[in-house]
Structure 1
Amino acid sequence: MDYPATAATLDSLPNGLTLILDPDPAAPVVSSQLWVETGSLHEGSLLGSGISHFLEHMVFKGGGRFGADELATTVQGAGGHWNAYTTFDRTVYYIDGPASGLETFLEVQAAMIFAPLIPEEEFEKEKDVIRREIDMGLDDPDDVASRLMFSTAFTADPRRHPVIGHRGLFDAITYADLTGYHRRRYTPDRCCLCISGDFDAAEVREKIEALFGGFVRGSGAEPVVPEDGVQLGPRRGRATFAVPASRVTLAWKIPPLGHPDVPAYELAAAVLGRGRSARLYRRLREERELALEISAWSWSQAGRDGIFAVSAEAEPEKRDELIAAILAELEELPSSAIDDELAKARRQIAASQFKTLTSASGRASDLASNWHEARDLDFTRRYLAALNATTAADVRRAVGKLTEDQLTISILDPEEAPAPAALKPASRHRPEPECITLPNGATLALLPDPRVPILTAQVAVRAGLVSETEATSGLNTLLASTLPQGTIRHSAAELAGRLESLGATLGAATGNNALLVQLSGLSPDVPVLLPLLAEVLAEPAFHGDSIEREKASQLASLRESLEDPLSTAFRLARHHLFKGQGYGLPALGTEESLANLNRLALSAHHSRHFQGRNLVIALAGDFDISEAKDLLAEGIGRLPEGSPWLPPAATTASDFEIEAYLPKKQAVLALAYPGCSALAPERFALRMIQEWCSDMAGPLFTRIREDLGLAYQVGATQFHGHDTGLFGFYMATDPSQVELAQAELSSEIAKIANNGIPEEAFERVRATVLSSLALGMQAPASIARLAAIDVLFGLPVTHHREAAGIFQKLSPGDVKSAAGALLEKAPVTVRVLPRE
């Protein structure tokens, strides 16, 4: 299966703006992405200040004929989902939505990117917002560990600085700095506009010329971007943080994209650390139990050094032994047989690349990235060909260059830890979904889609958080992590090896109402994949050593979540809202409950819930219906019929306030209300309320974040239960402003309770929700998940297709009534504050 050559066109306007047009009528959606070739590398005298990221924020404050609110409401009214991100070498502005909104999306992008207002009165307000974002990054161990690695590996290269900038340098940015940076860097000749989806190329080209053709080409030299010299010896960086386990990265600089060694390093990373059957995972986590988590990765850019690295988490006392073991594995690889592992790696990478072609957004990102890195729209195809042509000898030779002199080790330790010693053409016709029931009561939901040779099987089992007690808290999470760790017939290594040799993935997760198992792979492998899925479901081994390893990893995640302000706020809110039972239990469990979970508990839970009448298997993607029915009937038929498991009734509390304290810089506020059930008619109206409260054009964002600058993060969330769910509001703010922020949030909630969504905003919100539905039904994995959960709750397999019609019938009065009923009670309120 060769990666298909693109049918997209590459062109440019007279002012230098590059155009990539990729018409595809498979789904009535589009993705419009404008890539600006500027990022934190290009900040010149303002290097390290984060001005590129700051500018990304400020262009959302209006442009052209649009004010700030008009930008958001216009995009929302057209059903668009928009955002932006800044990296070292690019700033990308994207809008995904219905094909009918494309002209609107293009007008908005032209206005905000090339003719932004950048209002001076918003300058300091947005600075405060980003200061909160900087503080959040400093509270995030993943962010801190990443900063440590880059700042240790690079000495002159600007990538040693965080993209968001250093606080002191950021504070020094002036309004003139910001507007001048926009004038110099945001020019059409430095930009690429890439559009993928359902549109007419000739018509869209005319619209682009009209909207973008009048902007002037840039002038002046590019900034000088320093590069590191040759590394002459190992580099080490260490810091401590409030984390339960040590985070270790061993990194080596590798050549830029385009060098013949780059494919070899990507394959080496896959052989060493991609998946459960990879060498490092199998040997150092499963067999020697030195690592809690471990992976390897390779990252390359055009024109600049890349990074090959191994990243791991370990208990502090095993950290040094793990580092030595990783180095020993790297030293051994050049002299070992790796042909079978390379075949598996190529399959994994091909499967991952094919998945990008299942959505308009993925296709646009792939094409724009190809232009950005190589000025070749078929670069992905050529790169995959280079991977396939890379031999075992090439990989051995490349890994042999990873010497100690070129090594960078970065370690983020717990505070008390001692320092270390030393893609196919799309089909326009999709067969209709169908459901069948097997003799043992299991339901098969079949949703064929032959556009891309990818298949996803999603299993939903009636269980989840509500099936636990205080004593068994965390059981479903442990079961989900242990389930793929081997069967009665295959060890964990054998199972992982068989799956990953096919480029397939299998994983399990738990939610509030169900335990989910997902299998994804390439369509030709269905006869192998579906029997393996059935084997995992029906015959898990629950080996004691696997249980203990997963318990240790779950315990580390639990301890980390206890240090996260937002996680802590909602953990406490759920606990008090549901009186410590059912949905009020922590999904990761507690230290006490985890200590008592064992093979007997897992086996008993599996036996009770993994029964035919408790289980739905949804299959989406490219597969033969008759073949799939036969394979699943044979494999899943081994499960007993059993009896449907019925969850206990939930009881809720309200009007409760609690404060908690953590050694963090920001304060977090959470307000939790009893929500609705998964089948409640009002769930559609509450989805509208959630969107209204989470959108950049909604009341919480515009009032609390934009007008008052009180919060970087503010929004709403919800989940549906069997009988009662949760609807919550949250915000992160400066501790000194928490009282005002809480008052303002409560005031906005009261307005929503009394008024619902204003009529002038109602259609915009509806358009955004409808767009979310369309965007969420592109990939087989999403469709399978939606169908499995719907059918588990007794809804038709086509319910996800019918939801749009239900939202179309909602009126402002329906939403107002649902909001009033939801918010009539006093909430459970949690404030997480910095510890003095």
Structure 2
Amino acid sequence: MEFPSTSATLETLPNGLSLILDPDPSAPVVSTQLWVETGSIHEGAHLGAGLSHFLEHMVFKGGGDFGPVELAESVQAAGGHWNAYTSFDRTVYYIDGPDTGLTTFLDVLCAMVFKPHLPESEFEKEKDVIRREIDMGLDDPDDRASRLLFSTVFSHDPRRHPVIGYRELFDSITYDDLRRYHRERYSPDHTCLCIAGNFDPDSLRQTIDRVFASLPRSASAEPLIPAEPVQLAPRTNRATFAVPASKVTLGWKIPALGHPDVPAFDLAAAMLGRGRSARLYRKLREERGLALEISSWSWSMANQIGIFAVSAEVQPDQRDALIAAIREELSAFSSSSFEDDMMKAKRQIAATQFRSLTTVSGRATDLASNWHEARDLDFTRRYLAQLEAVTAADVRRALATLTDSRESLTILDPEGVSAPSATRSPTRKRTEPETFTLANGTTIALLPDPKVPVVALQSAVRAGSTSETSQTAGINRLLAAAMPQATRHRSAEELANTLESLGASIGASAGNNSLLLQLAGLSPDLGTLVPLFGEVLSDPALDSDSIDREKASQLTSLRETLQDPLSVAFRHLRQRLFGRHGYGIPTLGNEDSVESLSRLSLAAHHSLHVRGPNLAVALAGDFDPEEARDLLSKAFNELPEGDPWHPEPSEILDPSEDVIHVDKKQAVLAIGYPGSAALDEHRHALRMLNEWASDMAGPLFTRIREDLGLAYQVGATQFHGHDTGLFAFYMATDPAQIELAESELMSEIGKLATGGIPDDAFERVRSTVLSATALDQQAPGSIARHAAIDLLFGLPASHHRELPGIYQKLTPAQVENAAAALLGTRKPVLIRVLPED
């Protein structure tokens, strides 16, 4: 299938602003994105200071006619979901939300990006926030490994520096530096405005002219970006960190985007390390057991050389053997026959690109990225055509350039470890879901949507944390990892080959209440995908070797979470609230319980829970309902019957407090209350309360982060259970400010308990929740997941479509009553995570 040509338009305003419009009336949502062509590589004399990232933070402090509170309130009132990010060569600001808020979104983006106040009174306060963010990055092993790689591969290229900057250089930024950088780099001729979704282009152009036409061009010169010299010898860089396993990457420089070898490198990366059937994964993880995890990737930018790399996690005692094995496999791969693998890789990449078209945000990002990289809105389609034309000889030629002298090896070891020696589908009327039940009790929902030729299958099994004990903690997570590996009729290689040859993917996860299996693929392959999905769910192989490998990975993930202050806080919070059973059991388990899990215990758990009465299945996307009904009936009809499994009632412990010490720099506070059940009458009101407590315009962010500068992270989170749930507040702060931060957070919680959401903010919060609901119901995978989980709790498969009407009817009094019932009836569980010193 050919990637569709875009119908979007590209034009340039007189002041140099690039404008991309992609009207699509199929859903009442829009994505509005401003891509400013400036990032960490453009900082000139301040290279390495993180000036671009700092400016991204500061523009949220108000602009034009909007103060900082008015910015957030205006976006919230219009139902917008906004954020920004900074990378090496761009800073992107975006607002997604209902089409009714488009004019507001444009006014806000223009004001904050091009006319920011940059208040001097906020300068040092926001600096403290970013200092905490820098500290958090230094506590993150993945961030450390990434920094190590880029600083090794590049010797002169500015991408050797972290986007957020180094602490000592960041501290040297002055207020004048910030204003000067904005004046020189934030101009319309450096910017692309991309809008996708439901709008009328003609009337929108008038609004855009009103908002953006008067902005002046920049008169400043482009900064000089040093060129990376040819690498003449191999490079090795190693560091140690508090990680349970070594993180290894072998990387090579490759040409910039646009070079004819780039598609060949992308295909080589997919063949070697994308998916379970990939060469490196199969041979070095599955067959030889050298790697805990392994993948390969290829990354190129326009006018900037890129990187081809193999990344892996490995037990330290197998690190050197794995490095040697990776080199051997790369050498052997070039001389092997891989035409079938290449066809599969082409399908995988094409499927990923097709899925990007299922949401307005994905479409806008694709178009703006095409402009940014190539000034060609159809660049994705042209690139996929180039990819399709790549031959095995092209791949071999490209891989031949990955010589020993151009290799860069980076190793992040645990502390104490020794060093080594076409046209979019026409919009159609949304079809109503259909639900039916098989004789064995399996409930199935069909949710057709012909917009894009993709399908998503989702099953939900009644299990989760409440089906575990202290002895089996983590069993659902391990079962979820082992199930998609192989079936009793297909080996791991056969299963992975079948899926990836179709550009399909399968995965499983475990949550508080369920075990989930999901599959995504292309519509023409439904006849193959449904039987395979049923086979994986009902008849997994669960072989001991596979379980041992996944167990090692789970233990590594568990040990990493035990080093993350926020994860530690919530782990203890749940145990203090629910005890050491039910929702108090950590999803990853503990080291003793995971070590004790066996094939027999996983098979018994699977047999108990994967039965018709415990199972709900949903199919969403482009399919023929009659064909799908027949396929799904055949795939699940043989599941065993029996009585449905029901969890034991939850136990809520008395309120308590605890202090946990970890060897990290920041402090974390977690405050938890028993939340609502999945069918509780207050659950929708608490969604509103959660949004108010988490939003940038809400009381926690504005008071604790903005006014007082006490926290980098502050917000709320919740989950619903079968008979209770969790509603929690969290905050990451400076250890020296923990007492004041805790006092302020408890004060704000007290205000929520007595007043709920203020009347003047209620409609803004409602708009945000409504737009989040609309944005979450675009992609087939998300729709199928909602439907399957709702069916499991006895709700109709169409319940997610009823949510907008439910939120429209909520009143401030209902939310106030829910807040009082949640927060005003008992003391919370309070967990403090502090540095060891």
> Within 2, Cα distance between the matches of 1:116 and 1:540?
57
> Within 2, Cα distance between the matches of 1:464 and 1:435?
24
> Within 2, Cα distance between the matches of 1:655 and 1:612?
39
> Which residue of structure 2 aligns with residue 760 of structure 1?
760
> Which residue of structure 2 aligns with residue 829 of structure 1?
830
> Within 2, Cα distance between the matches of 1:209 and 1:35?
18
> Within 1, Cα distance between the matches of 2:220 and 2:817?
59
Q: Is the 8 A contact 2:439 2:637 kept in 1?
A: yes
> Within 1, Cα distance between the matches of 2:561 and 2:110?
41
Q: Is the 8 A contact 2:675 2:726 kept in 1?
A: yes
> Which residue of structure 1 aligns with residue 57 of structure 2?
57
Deviation at 1:160, TM superposition (A): 0.4
Can you list the C-alpha shifts for 1:309-358, whole angstroms capped at 9, x where unaligned? Answer: 00000000001100111111110111110110000000000100000100
> Which residue of structure 1 aligns with residue 582 of structure 2?
582
Across the aligned residues of Structure 1 and Structure 2, the Cα RMSD in angstroms comes to 0.7
Q: Is the 8 A contact 2:60 2:71 kept in 1?
A: yes
Deviation at 1:427, TM superposition (A): 2.7
The within-5 A match list for 1:419-430 is 419-421=419-421, 424-430=424-430
Can you list the C-alpha shifts for 1:671-727, whole angstroms capped at 9, x where unaligned? Answer: 010000000010001000110011000000000000000000000000001001000
Q: Which amino acid aligns with 1:560?
A: E
User: Where in structure 2 are there 5+ consecutive unaligned residues?
Assistant: none
The within-5 A match list for 1:147-296 is 147-296=147-296
Deviation at 1:245, TM superposition (A): 0.3
> Within 2, Cα distance between the matches of 1:401 and 1:654?
64
> Within 1, Cα distance between the matches of 2:828 and 2:241?
34
Q: Which amino acid aligns with 1:284?
A: L
> Runs ≥4 in structure 1, deviation > 4 angstroms?
none
The within-5 A match list for 1:27-426 is 27-421=27-421, 424-426=424-426
> Within 1, Cα distance between the matches of 2:427 and 2:708?
50
Deviation at 1:655, TM superposition (A): 2.2
Question: Is the counterpart of residue 693 in structure 1 residue 688 in structure 2?
Answer: no
> Which residue of structure 1 aligns with residue 453 of structure 2?
453
Q: Mean alpha-carbon deviation: is it higher for 744-753 or for 218-227? A: 218-227
What's the secondary structure of 1:356's corresponding residue? Answer: helix
Q: Mean alpha-carbon deviation: is it higher for 707-716 or for 645-654? A: 645-654
Question: Is the counterpart of residue 568 in structure 1 residue 572 in structure 2?
Answer: no
> Which residue of structure 2 aligns with residue 538 of structure 1?
538
Deviation at 1:415, TM superposition (A): 0.4
> Which residue of structure 2 aligns with residue 702 of structure 1?
702
Q: Is the 8 A contact 2:253 2:306 kept in 1?
A: yes
User: Where in structure 1 are there 5+ consecutive unaligned residues?
Assistant: none
Q: Mean alpha-carbon deviation: is it higher for 219-228 or for 75-84? A: 219-228
Q: Mean alpha-carbon deviation: is it higher for 142-151 or for 653-662? A: 653-662
> Within 1, Cα distance between the matches of 2:431 and 2:18?
38
Deviation at 1:420, TM superposition (A): 1.1
> Which residue of structure 2 aligns with residue 7 of structure 1?
7
> Which residue of structure 2 aligns with residue 520 of structure 1?
520
Deviation at 1:426, TM superposition (A): 3.5
Can you list the C-alpha shifts for 1:465-505, whole angstroms capped at 9, x where unaligned? Answer: 11000000000001000001111100111111111110000
Q: Which amino acid aligns with 2:75?
A: V
Deviation at 1:155, TM superposition (A): 0.7
> Within 1, Cα distance between the matches of 2:807 and 2:431?
25
Q: Which amino acid aligns with 1:525?
A: D
Q: Is the 8 A contact 1:426 1:452 kept in 2?
A: no
Can you list the C-alpha shifts for 1:116-139, whole angstroms capped at 9, x where unaligned? Answer: 000000000000000000001001
> Within 1, Cα distance between the matches of 2:629 and 2:220?
64
> Within 1, Cα distance between the matches of 2:538 and 2:112?
55
The within-5 A match list for 1:565-644 is 565-644=565-644
> Within 2, Cα distance between the matches of 1:519 and 1:221?
50
What's the secondary structure of 1:616's corresponding residue? Answer: strand
> Within 2, Cα distance between the matches of 1:404 and 1:749?
59
> Within 1, Cα distance between the matches of 2:86 and 2:342?
34
> Within 1, Cα distance between the matches of 2:67 and 2:730?
27
What's the secondary structure of 2:718's corresponding residue? Answer: strand
Q: Is the 8 A contact 1:654 1:673 kept in 2?
A: no
Q: Which amino acid aligns with 1:821?
A: A
Deviation at 1:168, TM superposition (A): 0.4
Q: Is the 8 A contact 1:194 1:368 kept in 2?
A: yes
Q: Is the 8 A contact 1:35 1:93 kept in 2?
A: yes
Q: Which amino acid aligns with 2:828?
A: P
> Within 2, Cα distance between the matches of 1:491 and 1:318?
26
Q: Which amino acid aligns with 1:418?
A: S
Can you list the C-alpha shifts for 1:614-638, whole angstroms capped at 9, x where unaligned? Answer: 1011000011111111111111111
Q: Is the 8 A contact 1:458 1:785 kept in 2?
A: yes
Deviation at 1:220, TM superposition (A): 2.2
Q: Is the 8 A contact 2:25 2:427 kept in 1?
A: no
> Within 2, Cα distance between the matches of 1:227 and 1:136?
31
> Which residue of structure 1 aligns with residue 770 of structure 2?
770
Q: State the number of aligned residues.
A: 835
Deviation at 1:537, TM superposition (A): 1.2
> Which residue of structure 2 aligns with residue 471 of structure 1?
471
What's the secondary structure of 2:275's corresponding residue? Answer: coil
Q: Mean alpha-carbon deviation: is it higher for 68-77 or for 822-831? A: 822-831
Q: Is the 8 A contact 2:110 2:211 kept in 1?
A: yes
Q: Is the 8 A contact 1:236 1:410 kept in 2?
A: yes
Can you list the C-alpha shifts for 1:68-88, whole angstroms capped at 9, x where unaligned? Answer: 000000000000000000000
> Which residue of structure 2 aligns with residue 802 of structure 1?
802
TM-score by length of 1: 0.99
> Which residue of structure 2 aligns with residue 679 of structure 1?
679
Q: Which amino acid aligns with 1:449?
A: D
Q: Which amino acid aligns with 2:78?
A: A
What's the secondary structure of 1:677's corresponding residue? Answer: coil
What's the secondary structure of 2:237's corresponding residue? Answer: strand
> Within 2, Cα distance between the matches of 1:831 and 1:744?
15
Can you list the C-alpha shifts for 1:208-238, whole angstroms capped at 9, x where unaligned? Answer: 0110011100112100011210000111111
Cα distance change on mapping 1:358 and 1:426 into 2, 3 Å? farther
> Within 2, Cα distance between the matches of 1:562 and 1:220?
49
Q: Is the 8 A contact 1:294 1:312 kept in 2?
A: yes
What's the secondary structure of 2:347's corresponding residue? Answer: helix
What's the secondary structure of 1:410's corresponding residue? Answer: strand
Question: Is the counterpart of residue 716 in structure 1 residue 716 in structure 2?
Answer: yes
> Within 1, Cα distance between the matches of 2:807 and 2:386?
48
> Within 2, Cα distance between the matches of 1:728 and 1:195?
36
Deviation at 1:294, TM superposition (A): 0.4
Q: Which amino acid aligns with 1:616?
A: A
What's the secondary structure of 1:483's corresponding residue? Answer: helix
Q: Is the 8 A contact 1:652 1:674 kept in 2?
A: yes
Q: Which amino acid aligns with 2:609?
A: H
What's the secondary structure of 1:372's corresponding residue? Answer: helix
Q: Is the 8 A contact 2:662 2:836 kept in 1?
A: yes
TM-score by length of 2: 0.99
> Within 2, Cα distance between the matches of 1:338 and 1:492?
18
What's the secondary structure of 1:484's corresponding residue? Answer: helix
Q: Which amino acid aligns with 2:835?
A: P
